[in-house]
């Protein structure tokens, strides 16, 4: 009797699970917990986007504790773990991305884009990585152990936009089985923008190009700022209805910011709502770093392709900026701001400004970089709409 009780007590410990004796658990869980601690270190010590990495890292740790079933279903009782509930409610349904876009819209000033409309091209060019990664995902499907359909490839490609909410929204509709690794990859690369982008930016530009100073942006009227979200939404509704959930939420948030008569709602979107959703979304994304889901060839392939897509998006923005300078030498653009065309707002704009100031401490590029940065947000949502409209149609043809 005592031996049976002791055995039962032993089987309820985390060590029992880490040793791989309990079904579904093993050394991989311990390894992923270490990964979670690395993410916390990068966020706390290095300051790499702590708002994202701390919830993701902690979610990773919680989900890999053996026999806790925090991110799954307890087989003994059938109870859902609290992070499992968050994931199903907000990510599986696509609700959290919509709410995040609403908050981003309320926090975003589209003035730099309105003042310099040609920076919209930089945001569009930075979406190059999306379609390159889509092709790459189909190509590596020939490797034994890796198998991506067109739906999977489209979901992987959207990582190249460096837009976590968009990646989650597209994947929840095209390839829900890949939600975990794609969400982790998208948010990890967003958080690691300060590490990934600068080497690419320096490699593609000369010191003289990095020192280019741009003219001060013209003032943008309140009327222009009010008409902008309404105009974008109208165009989207006419040309690409599949993108309107994301674009509509973004533009509603921005309109609430600019009209000046619903400041309470705008403030709620920018602060309380955004903070709550970020906490829940970060924990839910981190929970998908569970060892049994994460440590496989498909996931590693997604992480690799995500890195390639993100790098190509960064390079595409920089190279298009250089091309624009060749075509218009009277109004030069600092090519560094092209890297901000990926929609990691405002991280990518801050990185462009920082690299520019390394070459010339008196060169202030932040406001100029915000133009392509907010353009990238719209661009990634539009790219998502294109994929949602075209991929199912292509699958039928194939």
Residue 386: inside a domain, yes or no?
yes
- Predicted TM-score (pTM) above 0.95: no
User: Which position has the token pair 């990510």?
Assistant: 91
17 pLDDT more than 70: no
For residue 141, give Cα distances in angstroms to 72, 131, 148, 168, 393: 29, 16, 6, 22, 21
Question: What is the per-residue pLDDT for 94?
Answer: 84
- Pick the residue with more confidence: 4 or 270? 270
pLDDT of residue 264: 94
Cα separation, 210 vs 365, in Å, equals 10
* Structural domain for 284, as ranges: 94-397
Residue 143 has pLDDT above 70, yes or no: yes
Q: Hey, what are 212's tokens? A: 């280019």
Closest CA to 325 of 205, 217, 220: 205
Tell me what pLDDT residue 269 has.
96
Q: Residue 266 falls within a domain, yes or no?
A: yes
Task: Indicate whether 25 belongs to any domain.
Answer: no
Rounded Cα gap, residues 257 and 249, in angstroms: 13
Q: For residue 293, is it within any domain?
A: yes
Query: According to the model, what pLDDT value does residue 24 have?
Result: 60
Q: What does the pLDDT look like over 60-78, one tens digit per residue?
A: 999 888 877 888 888 888 8
Q: Output the pLDDT for position 8.
A: 67
Provide the pLDDT for residue 276: 95
Of residues 36 and 128, the one with the higher pLDDT is: 36
Q: Kindly state whether residue 64 falls inside one of the protein's structural domains.
A: no
For the segment 222-270, what is each residue's pLDDT rounded down to a tens digit?
Answer: 999 999 999 999 999 998 898 899 999 999 999 999 998 999 999 999 9
Any domain includes 321: yes
* pLDDT of amino acid 346: 80
Contact 161, 132 (CB under 8 A): no
Tally of domains within the chain: 1
Does a structural domain hold residue 376? Answer: yes
Q: Would you state the pLDDT for residue 376?
A: 87
- Mean pLDDT across 363-376: 88
The confidence score (pLDDT) of residue 156 equals 86
pLDDT-based confidence at 18, cuts 50/70/90? low
- Tell me, yes or no, whether 276 lies in a domain: yes
């Amino acid at each position: 009797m005592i031996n049976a009780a002791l055995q039962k007590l032993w089987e309820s410990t985390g060590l029992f699970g880490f040793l791989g004796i309990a079904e579904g658990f093993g050394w991989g869980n311990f390894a992923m917990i270490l990964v979670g601690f690395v993410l916390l270190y990068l966020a706390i010590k290095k300051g790499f986007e702590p708002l994202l990495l701390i919830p993701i890292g902690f979610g990773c740790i919680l989900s890999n504790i053996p026999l806790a079933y925090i991110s799954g279903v307890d087989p003994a009782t059938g109870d859902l773990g609290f992070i499992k509930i968050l994931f199903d409610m907000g990510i599986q349904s696509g609700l959290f991305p919509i709410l995040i876009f609403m908050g981003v819209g309320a926090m975003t000033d589209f003035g730099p884009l309105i003042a310099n409309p040609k920076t919209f091209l930089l945001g569009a060019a930075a979406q190059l990585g999306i379609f390159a990664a889509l092709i790459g995902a189909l190509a590596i499907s020939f490797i034994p152990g890796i198998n991506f359909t067109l739906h999977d490839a489209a979901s992987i490609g959207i990582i190249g936009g460096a837009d976590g909410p968009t990646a989650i929204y597209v994947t929840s509709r095209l390839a829900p089985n890949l939600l975990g690794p794609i969400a982790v990859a998208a948010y990890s690369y967003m958080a690691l923008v300060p590490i990934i982008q600068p080497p690419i930016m320096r490699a593609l530009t000369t010191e003289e190009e990095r020192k280019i100073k741009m003219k001060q942006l013209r003032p943008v009227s309140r009327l222009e700022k009010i008409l902008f979200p309404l105009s974008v939404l109208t165009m989207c509704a006419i040309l690409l209805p599949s993108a309107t959930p994301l674009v509509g939420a973004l533009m509603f948030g921005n309109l609430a910011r600019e009209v000046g008569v619903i400041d309470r709602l705008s403030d709620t979107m920018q602060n309380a709502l955004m903070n709550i959703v970020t906490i829940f979304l970060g924990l839910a994304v981190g929970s998908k770093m569970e060892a049994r889901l994460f440590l496989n060839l498909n996931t590693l392939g997604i992480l690799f392709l995500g890195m390639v897509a993100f790098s190509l998006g960064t390079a595409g923005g920089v190279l298009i900026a250089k091309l624009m300078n060749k075509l218009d030498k009277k109004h030069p653009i600092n090519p560094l701001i092209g890297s901000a065309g990926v929609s990691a707002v405002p991280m990518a704009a801050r990185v462009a400004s920082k690299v520019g100031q390394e070459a010339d401490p008196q060169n202030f590029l932040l406001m100029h970089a915000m133009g392509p940065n907010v353009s990238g947000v719209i661009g990634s949502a539009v790219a998502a709409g294109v994929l949602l409209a075209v991929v199912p149609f292509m699958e039928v043809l194939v």
